[in-house]
Amino acid sequence: MRGIDEDTGEYLSPSRSQQRREALEVLALGERLAGLSPAQLGRLPVPERLLPHIAEARRITSHIARKRQLAYLAKQMRREDDQTLEAIRDALDAGGEAARQETALLHRAEQWRERLIAEGDAALSALLDAHPGADRQHLRQLARNAAQERARDKPPHAQRELFRALRETLVQGPEAAE
What's the confidence (pLDDT) of residue 143?
Answer: 93
Cα-Cα end-to-end distance for the chain: 52
| Calpha distance 17→46 (Å, rounded) | 27
Which distant-in-sequence residues (6+ apart) come within 8 Å of 148 by Cβ?
158
- Is 112 in contact with 105 (CB distance < 8 Å)? no
Quick one: pLDDT at residue 133?
Answer: 87
- Which domains are assigned to the chain? 16-80 (1.10.60.30), 98-177 (1.10.60.30)
Question: Which parts of the chain register pLDDT below 50?
Answer: 175-178
pLDDT confidence of residue 109? 93
Question: What are residue 47's phi and psi, to 5 degrees?
Answer: -60, 150
pTM of the entire predicted model: 0.53
- Determine the pLDDT at residue 108: 93
